[in-house]
Structure 1
């Protein structure tokens, strides 16, 4: 929903915090078109943290608090609270998916380090791949829940020239862009929906390092590990395939570390923002 930066009730010049929120929203919207690489997603998560920090500062403004304190329609107020809780739920789903994968990666790396190319290693690899399937199912469920939140009311009972409408619209925009980034993150962790067979991925990985950018962006760190581990099973845990899998796991671990830290910071900031919103609406 478009945000009316100026209204009859707001000053002719928007508050600097409002302008900053708008700028951060624009940056995140423009970044939606970028490739879903690990670095781009980490950048988006960092941008979301800045956005929610800015929103919290917006909620501290007397003008904002006065606007939201004039609750004349409990439905939109409850929707704002439900929306902030929804963001925390989705964030928790992403954190759980990353944590579960991280633990499996660490265990598998330790086993590969100890056992090298032993035949018995394939059973441990299959355990990891089974765990990945469970993570993907959980992500699919979370994504389905996201899709179920699109048809929400437009709080039409509010006067569009009123500051309350402006603030509520702004908070809804923030919620929408946050959900969009989380959707990108969950899709990245899950891997491409219609990716080629594991053997095709392995073939690409084994080609010359002079890979064109279009091909490189088709595979993310999670998909690369899945392909390397399938190769490990196919070659009956040979030493070269075990070494390749270990290297791919190293890259994935670094990717997970960056996203885990960014998610944790964002999660704490969203809790802080929700508390501020609760204090205003329940005042």
Structure 2
């Protein structure tokens, strides 16, 4: 794999008394995954691109876990003068887990509301407008919570200090800070996707849906990469109230697409959460 020119190589190396200093294979693997996640940041904020970012981040955490189990890493973490710094890293990992948990909850709550609405539409019960308004209100609650959470993301800083006399811990901190920064960027991208469809959400009702359908016919591949399923469903439901349009099948299709989108994102977040837990456990095992 050819690394992106913007990807800087880490300076944490496995050393030998008889051989020249060279990167450990796990460090090289770490660098490759860093580059891959960074490269994915340039892609569009569609559900498929975010899913790809989550998969790349999972691979990165697998490399971090291997790195934490290297004897050199364990010796570095065990040095008494590095304990304060390690405590800071552990605190940072816990806060990242909190963010991941919040993201899981936001997706789960959104899916529950969507499925309730799907059930009402399938049974064609009375009071559909009321259910749609309930869904819209629930979306506002989720958006408000996400907005608050995203503000807190900016406050997650690694405050640990370390001595310049220990180059290994300096390099290690640089690596793990980079992982933290990339993780926060991916979480922010996903939360923005859920809560802020941006310009798509501001377009009126069926004009958006019709435009999307039109582009799917004449410029399918390029347009689909930029589709936000939350924005499409929101616009379709809004039009159903304001215009009383008899387009139930189309609305059901949009809700179903959104449901499948959320399931895929949930799988990605769950896989990432498990790897983050494993990485934290590897950290803690170094002190048992």
Same-fold call, TM cutoff 0.5: yes
Q: Does 1:21 align with 2:36?
A: no
**In structure 2, do the counterparts of structure 1 residues 163 and 276 end up closer, same or farther at CA, with 3 Å as the change threshold?**
same
**Partner secondary structure for residue 239 of structure 1:** coil
Are residues 1:96 and 2:105 paired?
yes
Q: Aligned to 1:178, which of 177, 183, 191? A: 183
**CA apart distance, 1:191:** 2.4
Q: How does 1:72-87 map to 2 (within 5 A)?
A: 72-87=81-96
Q: CA deviation at 1:54?
A: 1.2
- Judge conservation of contact 2:15–2:22 (CA < 8 Å) in 1: no
1:206 aligns with 2:215: no
Residue in structure 2 matched with residue 169 of structure 1 by the alignment: 174
* 1:251 is aligned to 2:257: yes
Distance 1:145 1:16, change over 3 A: same
Q: Is the 8 A contact 1:198 1:226 kept in 2?
A: no
The DSSP-based 3-state class of the residue aligned with 1:36 is coil
User: Kindly tell me: are residues 204 and 68 of structure 1, through their superposed partners in 2, closer, same or farther at Cα, counting changes over 3 Å?
Assistant: same
1:173-199 superposed Cα distances (whole Å, 9 cap, x missing partner): 111111111111111111234555351
Runs of 5+ unmatched residues, structure 1: none
Counterpart Cα distance in 1 of 2:285 and 2:266: 29
Q: Quickly say closer, same or farther: Cα 1:176–1:3, change in 2 above 3 A.
A: farther
| 8 Å contact kept, 2:13–2:22 | no
Consecutive unaligned residues in structure 2, runs of 5 or more: 1-6
- How many equivalent pairs are there? 275
The aligned residue for residue 221 of structure 1 is 229
| 2:54 corresponds to | 45
Counterpart for residue 193 of structure 2 = 188
CA contact (8 A) 1:38 1:255 kept: yes
CA displacement, residues 120-155 of structure 1 (integer Å, 9 cap, x when unaligned)? 2110011111111111111111101101124x4473
Per the alignment, in what secondary structure is the counterpart of residue 36 of structure 2? helix
Q: Which has the higher contact order (CA 8 A, sep 6+)?
A: 1
Q: Partners of 1:53 and 1:225 in 2: how far apart?
A: 35
**Against the structure 1 CA distance between its residues 7 and 14, is the aligned structure 2 distance closer, same or farther, given a 3 Å change threshold?**
closer
**Is the partner of 2:80 in helix, strand or coil?**
coil
CA RMSD of aligned residues (A): 2.4
Determine the C-alpha separation between the residues in 1 that align with 2:8 and 2:162. 13
